[in-house]
Structure 1
Amino acid sequence: MLPRFDPTNPEACLSLLEDVTTNVKQIQDSVLEAILSRNAHTEYLRGFLNGQVDKQSFKKNLPVVTYEDIKPYIDRIANGEPSDLICDRPISVLLTSSGTSGGVPKLIPLTTEDLVQRISLASLYRPLLYKHIEGVKETKSLLFYFVSRESETASGILVRTMITSVLKSVTPETKYIWDQTQVSPHAISTCADTTQSMYCQLLCGILQRDNVGRLGAPFASTFLKVIKFLEDHWPELCSNIRTGRLSDWITDAQCVSGISKFLTAPNPELASLIEQECSKTSWEGIVRRLWPKAKCIEAIVTGSMAQYIPLLEFYSGGLTVISTLYGSSECTIGANFNPLCKPSDVSYTIIPSMGYFEFLEVEKDHQETGHDPMEKHVVVDLVDVKVGHDYEPVLTTFSGLYRYRVGDVLRVTGFYNNAPQFHFVGRQKVVLSIDMDKTSEEDLLKAVTNAKLLLEPHDLMLMDFTSRVESSPFPGHYVLYWELGSKVKDAKLEPNPNVLEECCFTIEESLDPVYRKGRKNDKNIGPLEIKVVKPGAFDELMNFFVSRGSSLSQYKTPRSVTNEEALKILEANVVSKFLSRKTPTWELHELYSSR
């Protein structure tokens, strides 16, 4: 656990970060000892340890597990059995994951103590930004957060997303910090109507535009949704500012009360200025133009979010894009100690106080060989990882997870003091496969990144994408759904067929030799297809997943879609189709060198 610290004292925060990244082994050993000694009496640990709580017994007797292994215990707690099945402290919340990576949300146990730790880490990190970004401390933040629907289990335990848990667990201390650092009142962010909340957060941000130094959202995709919302609603926002009167459809009491502190009188001068910027032919640099004192955009841009980097750069006008923290519903794991690095170079430093971290080495060819990495590798401690190697994190937490596989793939890039630094590679799960081919999320993202470069000379941008396998008729083939946008406002989206066909081929050429062999020699894989969908199609897809319990703040477009209802949404929005007209090349030596 993190030691107590004063979040208003930047020097103390920076000193603590130095301490925890220096004394890594000691902290990790003490974290494991604390977790085991606290929870030794739980049904789960008793079944494996028989009262032995030393590290050696833990590693020898406790299995490495996945969510499906622990789900029966979580279900029992949700149905009314006591939390001490897995944890000595009461489970106050069951966190629901985004549900878009694997299709079905997981329920992750969380204690109040653990939640406080996660909130504390965000406060601890803030002075690091102040240290690296000159002048940002004297401004406030326009960071867009949204609550999502919540429910209760049969036993009365709250089921929430992580963002909702944080927003609804504000103490007097954290409320003071919020008011000191955010331009938008806390009440607006906790409004249950995300449309009203987004509108009022934007209105607050524009009214206080000269005091905004940081903008952002939990994920890059969320921030881009806000920009799209601004693009659709700026005339109405300008009308509110010009008249000093809030739109009648804003009826939520929290929003009305929150905005009333700032929308106090007509301001036609500001309205005209915003109108002038938003009316321009291109929205390139719109963020910097609307918020002239902004220094950076904060949003996760690693993993599946990396594809949004070009869009962020287009709208930001050269502002630094900072990917701050790395974590999941299971645990907050690391922080970016070099916030000014390029988004593509982000490495996260593991914070050893947040849980006990082990790592399962992942062969870079494990998906091609078909072997489970558990058959070939032991689990190593945090201090024993090696630079250049790929690992899957294995977590043991204070909230009742023991040797739990997260499913991410991380690559060790170096060390900060004695704490390893990791680059987020992607999810370990294969997202597309027809025959012997197994295309991972990382493979797919790299291929699409190469292809979308072909759009730039035509002032086109790839706004979002997903994929699926079309298995009928034989041979099956990959299908990618692309939503395109133009750099020129109100321009017609009529992509040149030759360009999109070349995009199809470029994706195929970028995939691994097993795929390319299946296309060329074996003829077991058909030509890759891109289906262009109408603007707004991915908003419909997001709304579908949010309606099923996902969170707007945590939503990530799934890189592969299998849900039939979601596929119907995409297919209903298809406006044009393109196939790869050439066959990708491959050489025999490539096939063997990839294994």
Structure 2
Amino acid sequence: MGIKSLLSKPIAAFVVRGINKWKYNAVESQRQILTHLIKQAQHTVFGRDHHFESIKSYQDFKKNVPIADYEDLKPYIDRVVKGEENILWKGKPMYFAKTSGTTSGVKYIPISKESMPEHIKAARNALLTYIQETGKADFVDGKMIFLQGSPEMDKKGGIYFGRLSGIVAHHVPAYLQKNRLPAYQTNCIEDWEEKVDAIVDETINEDMRLISGIPPWCQMYFDRLSAKSGGKKIKDIFKNFSLFVYGGVNYEPYRARIEESIGKKIDAIETYPASEGFIAYQDSQKEKGLLLLANSGIFYEFVPTEEYFNENPTRLSLGEIELNKNYAIILSTNAGLWGYSIGDTVKFVSKNPYKILVTGRIKHYISAFGEHVIGEEVEYALLSAAEEEGLEVTEFTVAPQVNPEVGQLPYHEWFVEFVTAPKDFDAFRLKVDQRLQEKNIYYSDLIQGKVLQPLIIRPLKENAFRLMMKADGKLGGQNKVPRLTNDRVVADKLGDYLL
């Protein structure tokens, strides 16, 4: 055992004791955070516009601060981008996290000097809670890799901006810098395929023990490592590789293939970072769900998904939520986002402590016929049927087909890239359809009522999704394939990659 792993255990014990102080008192922590946020922003432009001086309770907050998306806050953000101070939060942001939006184009999400440390602390604490629970700390003595965006940044209004993962790279603690790969110059390579090849060359002979990133891009890294080594499994390339840290998408669709590439089952930690704030992380290898970070400068609200598009949806604080119910998550943060909908949906699996599962995107659904099928449901339907049949799936997405051929009923069209495909596609699609009906009563009613026909599966060529994303200029980094859409944009592009 090395000196770093030896020291990490008492540090982990100390940190976890601190976490436990708010972990089981999350509702009170949230009350205090809301009070603090309102007080700190009372004299900002947004605070004056929304009468923060009169807010004395959560009920007052709901009356004064509407739910907002980026477009709603854009007039304020535009002023911040121009260099004005005290607009959404006191002073100026430390950074802007640059993200891509479907309706807003490029988004500039403020990161303040108060919110930046919370991103770093949460990532650190995810690892320390793992050490405290499992006693496994050897990974800190070896090399670690974080597959991420470029750390190079530009300026707007005198404020640096870049991808969140690239910004975070500038704040990796000094004690981890010597362990961390790839090199700065490698991380700055913009072309994702060129970058992955460079990372492979740089890491293949190193003692890699922790690998972190979005699962599909980690899979690409594993594929190229294996090819470079003559077909070896990752466990035979990195003999001490023991921990996989991931976020950004549900791991389950990728788990089987990643574990097959590695050659063994491996401990994994799921994280839930966003440009708007680090929301949750997996704090136990034994318990389901991600610990909601109720003491990290974010005040959370939750809107039942079925009400989200209503004019006046129900807004709930943490203490009012119900278990196993889907909510859109709303944030107010110490970087100056107020009532901000990040577009994700979650459900709670525990209240003591508060733990969540990320179930999808509020705008990633299919309701062309009133069925409102969500990501969690399609993932369950395909993956449970595939597991039963002994099949492996690389990637998939689903879209409605509202204009079928003459004489056919409309249907949900599934575009699936298989590692191992079913021998009987018709039997398999009906099994997947049945599983979806079990999860969604509205979809079942449409099938039983002959409004829709059972879903259709379109098998895709190898690497279809990678090729499509490369053609779109969205290969790698933090880019993800939508699991389902209510339109045909992605589906029509995938038509070029059918088997």
Instruction: Give TM class, smaller chain.
Output: 0.7 to 0.9
Contact 2:347 2:356 (8 Å CA) reproduced: yes
Q: Which runs of 5+ in 2 are unaligned?
A: 1-6
Select the residue among 281, 296, 304 that pairs with 1:354.
296
* Alignment partner, residue 437 of structure 1: 371
* Alignment partner, residue 506 of structure 1: 431
* Alignment partner, residue 71 of structure 2: 68
1:293 aligns with 2:240: yes
* Alignment partner, residue 334 of structure 2: 398
Contact 1:454 1:503 (8 Å CA) reproduced: no
Contact 1:87 1:399 (8 Å CA) reproduced: yes
* Alignment partner, residue 455 of structure 2: 528
Identical amino acids, percent of aligned pairs: 17
Contact 1:383 1:420 (8 Å CA) reproduced: no
Select the residue among 217, 221, 228 that pairs with 2:223.
228
**Equivalent position SS for 2:356:** strand
TM-superposed deviation, 1:398: 0.9
TM-superposed deviation, 1:90: 0.9
Distance (whole Å) between structure 1 residues aligned to residue 225 and residue 457 of structure 2: 29
**Equivalent position SS for 2:16:** helix
TM-superposed deviation, 1:122: 1.6
1:108 aligns with 2:109: yes
Distance (whole Å) between structure 2 residues aligned to residue 448 and residue 55 of structure 1: 45
Residues 1:50 and 1:537: Cα distance change in structure 2 (over 3 Å): closer
**Equivalent position SS for 2:200:** helix
Distance (whole Å) between structure 2 residues aligned to residue 425 and residue 527 of structure 1: 23
* Alignment partner, residue 411 of structure 1: 347
Q: Which amino acid aligns with 1:213?
A: R
TM-superposed deviation, 1:309: 1.7
Which structure is larger by alpha-carbon Rg, 1 or 2? 1
TM-superposed deviation, 1:384: 4.4
Q: Which runs of 5+ in 1 are unaligned?
A: 1-5, 235-273, 279-285, 487-494, 576-595
1:127 aligns with 2:128: yes
Residues 1:421 and 1:304: Cα distance change in structure 2 (over 3 Å): closer
Residues 1:103 and 1:231: Cα distance change in structure 2 (over 3 Å): farther
* Alignment partner, residue 208 of structure 2: 212
Contact 1:394 1:403 (8 Å CA) reproduced: yes
Q: Which amino acid aligns with 1:212?
A: M
Contact 2:364 2:482 (8 Å CA) reproduced: no
Distance (whole Å) between structure 2 residues aligned to residue 154 and residue 187 of structure 1: 23
**Equivalent position SS for 1:379:** coil
Contact 1:295 1:319 (8 Å CA) reproduced: no
Give the alignment of 1:3-22 within 5 angstroms. 9-22=11-24
* Alignment partner, residue 361 of structure 2: 427
Q: Which amino acid aligns with 2:53?
A: G
Distance (whole Å) between structure 1 residues aligned to residue 470 and residue 487 of structure 2: 14
TM-superposed deviation, 1:152: 5.3
Residues 1:300 and 1:50: Cα distance change in structure 2 (over 3 Å): closer
* Alignment partner, residue 379 of structure 1: 316
Select the residue among 224, 247, 255 that pairs with 1:309.
255
Give the alignment of 1:62-101 within 5 angstroms. 62-78=65-81, 80=82, 82-97=84-99, 99=101
TM-superposed deviation, 1:572: 1.3
Residues 1:371 and 1:407: Cα distance change in structure 2 (over 3 Å): closer
1:415-454: CA deviation from partner (whole Å, max 9, x where unpaired): 45xx412222333335223323221111211111133236
Contact 2:308 2:328 (8 Å CA) reproduced: no
1:70-110: CA deviation from partner (whole Å, max 9, x where unpaired): 233223433x251422111312433234658x896643222
Distance (whole Å) between structure 2 residues aligned to residue 70 and residue 138 of structure 1: 41
Contact 1:133 1:295 (8 Å CA) reproduced: no
TM-superposed deviation, 1:399: 0.9
Contact 1:392 1:405 (8 Å CA) reproduced: yes
Residues 1:454 and 1:205: Cα distance change in structure 2 (over 3 Å): same
**Equivalent position SS for 1:51:** helix
**Equivalent position SS for 2:19:** helix
Contact 2:412 2:456 (8 Å CA) reproduced: yes
TM-superposed deviation, 1:297: 1.9
Give the alignment of 1:361-372 within 5 angstroms. 361-362=303-304, 366=306, 372=309
1:212-233: CA deviation from partner (whole Å, max 9, x where unpaired): 332x32222221121223344x
1:10-36: CA deviation from partner (whole Å, max 9, x where unpaired): 443233323332453554333223322
**Equivalent position SS for 2:426:** helix
* Alignment partner, residue 3 of structure 2: none
Q: Which amino acid aligns with 2:331?
A: L
TM-superposed deviation, 1:310: 1.8
Distance (whole Å) between structure 1 residues aligned to residue 142 and residue 131 of structure 2: 12
Contact 1:466 1:481 (8 Å CA) reproduced: yes
1:539 aligns with 2:466: yes
Distance (whole Å) between structure 1 residues aligned to residue 151 and residue 413 of structure 2: 32
RMSD: 3.3
1:41-65: CA deviation from partner (whole Å, max 9, x where unpaired): 2222211216335335334422233
* Alignment partner, residue 142 of structure 1: 144
Distance (whole Å) between structure 1 residues aligned to residue 41 and residue 237 of structure 2: 52
Task: Please report the TM-score for the alignment, with normalisation by the length of structure 1.
Answer: 0.72
Contact 1:222 1:555 (8 Å CA) reproduced: no
Distance (whole Å) between structure 1 residues aligned to residue 308 and residue 396 of structure 2: 30
Give the alignment of 1:455-466 within 5 angstroms. 455-456=389-390, 460-466=391-397
**Equivalent position SS for 1:207:** coil
Residues 1:371 and 1:401: Cα distance change in structure 2 (over 3 Å): closer
Residues 1:524 and 1:104: Cα distance change in structure 2 (over 3 Å): farther
1:259-311: CA deviation from partner (whole Å, max 9, x where unpaired): xxxxxxxxxxxxxxx44x53xxxxxxx2222222222322238x543211222
Aligned length: 484
Contact 2:144 2:180 (8 Å CA) reproduced: yes
Q: Which amino acid aligns with 1:408?
A: D
Distance (whole Å) between structure 2 residues aligned to residue 436 and residue 481 of structure 1: 21
Contact 1:540 1:569 (8 Å CA) reproduced: no
* Alignment partner, residue 61 of structure 2: 58
Q: Which amino acid aligns with 2:316?
A: V
Contact 2:277 2:298 (8 Å CA) reproduced: no
Residues 1:563 and 1:77: Cα distance change in structure 2 (over 3 Å): farther
Contact 2:44 2:86 (8 Å CA) reproduced: yes
Residues 1:484 and 1:137: Cα distance change in structure 2 (over 3 Å): closer
Contact 2:148 2:478 (8 Å CA) reproduced: no
TM-superposed deviation, 1:536: 1.5
Contact 2:328 2:343 (8 Å CA) reproduced: yes
